[in-house]
Structure formats: C-alpha cells, structure tokens
C-alpha cells in the first residue's frame, strides 16, 4: 500500500527545446490568423502597425521586469507569488484567480475560433461538433505525462511558427509582384479611404485591444 502522506514534488521533464517553443508558440495567438484583418480595417495599416509596435514594447519591458523578479527571487509558484510578496497577499490572490479566469476564457475563445476555421473547409458540419472534438483533444493533451505534454506543445507551436514564416515569404513575394498582377499597387491599402491611420491620431488606440489579445496568446 502506497504512502499517501509522502510529499509530492514537481517533475522537471521539459527540455530546453520544449520551453523555448512553448514560449514562442504561447505568444502567437489564434487571433493573429483570424483578427489581423479586422485590426487593419479598424485602425488602418499604419495604425495597426503602430499599435503592434507599442504593445510589443510594453510586453518587452513587462517580461524583462518579470525576468528580474524571477532571478532575484526564484520560486516554484507562478508569477502571482510576486504580487503576494512585494505588494500584498490579497493582490497576489486576485492576480492568480484573474490569470486563471483569463485562460479559462481563452479555451472558450479557441473552441469558437476553431468553428470558423473548420467551417471554411467543411461548411455542412455544425460548428458544435468541431468544438466538442477539439475540447476532447485539449483535455487529452493536458491529461498526458509532462513529457507528452511538452512534445505536443513543441510540435503545435512549430506548426504556428512555420505558418507565419510561410505567410512572410508569401507577403514578400506579393510585394515584389511575383504573386500580384502588374496593375495592382502594393501601397494601395495605404491610400484607400482614411488609410493609413483610420481615425487619425487615435488609430493606434483603436487597434490596441486586438493587438494586446494577440500578444497574450489568444
């Protein structure tokens, strides 16, 4: 009979490649593929580009600050332990539950997003079935061993990274007119309507919400 009172410890079975790809893939949200068009339509190409840059700078300083905290005070808990230590225990408690709520909502967001993606190829199948299938897949991945979870996250993140590289290559090919007809200007979207800054100086603010969501991995 096993001793149930024996202390339980975390198992460090994730390698450097797992952690690196989880970090990279975690910053690439589904919204990057689904919501980028609406962001450009709302803020204009210039406003969207500036919004991405501003949010990116903010995230950079946020992560460097978090890295300094982790180096100064290594902890086995999540980052909300720093809120309890340096601010107040109630702050850390609220931060932890807000972070949990954020990712609980993310699961629902991803399950709805998969309906839009799969509907493109299979319009005759109800979206509910796709959400149910992918919910089972998500549950199965999280029920795996630590190593199995790391491997699945590594390859799923790799797919996202490769997809972005392919889109960049296609974008460059379109700019140099390899994939565009000669009568189409590559700057046409920068001069159409109120572009490049839809709404004037407030255009980056109009796109900041979507950009912030995308950087959080949604």
132 within domain boundaries: yes
pLDDT of residue 3: 55
Same domain, 133 and 149: no
203 within domain boundaries: no
Indicate the pTM of the whole model: 0.69
> Which whole number is the average pLDDT over 185-197?
76
13 within domain boundaries: no
pLDDT of residue 41: 78
Same domain, 93 and 135: yes
81 within domain boundaries: no
3 within domain boundaries: no
pLDDT of residue 195: 75
pLDDT of residue 10: 65
Same domain, 128 and 94: yes
64 within domain boundaries: yes
**Window from 19-33, 119-133, 158-172 with minimum mean pLDDT:** 19-33
Q: Which domain holds residue 104?
A: 87-143
Same domain, 91 and 133: yes
Same domain, 156 and 174: yes
Same domain, 149 and 132: no
Same domain, 68 and 104: no
Whether 4 shows a pLDDT value over 60: the answer reads: no
pLDDT of residue 9: 65
Number of structural domains found in the chain: 3
pLDDT of residue 97: 92
> Which whole number is the average pLDDT over 102-107?
83
* SS3 per residue for the chain: CCCCCCCCCCCCCCCHHHHHHHHHHHCCCCHHHHCHHHHHHHHHHHHHHHHHHHHHHHHHHHHHHHHHHHHHCCCCCCCHHHHHHHCCHHHHHHHHHHHHHHHHHHHHHHHHHHHHHHHHHCCCCCHHHHHHHHHHHHHHHHCCCHHHHHHHHHHHHHHHHHHHHHHHHHHHHHHCCCCCCCCCCCCHHHCCCCCCCCCHHHHHHHHHHHHHHHHCCC
Same domain, 130 and 92: yes
213 within domain boundaries: no
């Amino acid at each position: 009979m096993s001793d149930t009172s024996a202390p339980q410890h975390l198992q460090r079975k994730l390698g450097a490649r797992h952690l690196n790809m989880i970090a990279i893939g975690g910053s690439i949200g589904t919204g990057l593929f689904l919501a980028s068009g609406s962001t450009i339509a709302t803020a204009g190409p210039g406003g969207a580009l500036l919004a991405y840059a501003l949010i990116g700078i903010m995230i950079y300083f946020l992560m460097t600050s978090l890295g300094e905290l982790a180096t100064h005070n290594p902890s086995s808990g999540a980052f909300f332990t720093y809120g309890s230590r340096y601010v107040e225990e109630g702050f850390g408690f609220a931060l932890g539950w807000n972070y949990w709520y954020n990712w609980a909502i993310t699961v629902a967001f991803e399950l709805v997003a998969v309906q839009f993606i799969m509907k493109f190829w299979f319009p005759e199948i109800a979206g509910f079935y796709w959400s149910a299938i992918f919910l089972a897949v998500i549950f199965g991945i999280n029920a795996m061993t630590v190593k199995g979870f790391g491997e699945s996250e590594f390859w799923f993140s790799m797919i996202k990274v490769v997809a972005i590289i392919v889109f960049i290559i296609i974008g460059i090919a379109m700019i140099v007119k390899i994939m565009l007809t000669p009568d189409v200007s590559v700057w046409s979207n920068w001069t159409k309507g109120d572009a490049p800054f839809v709404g004037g100086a407030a255009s980056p603010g109009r796109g900041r919400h979507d950009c912030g969501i995308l950087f959080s991995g949604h």
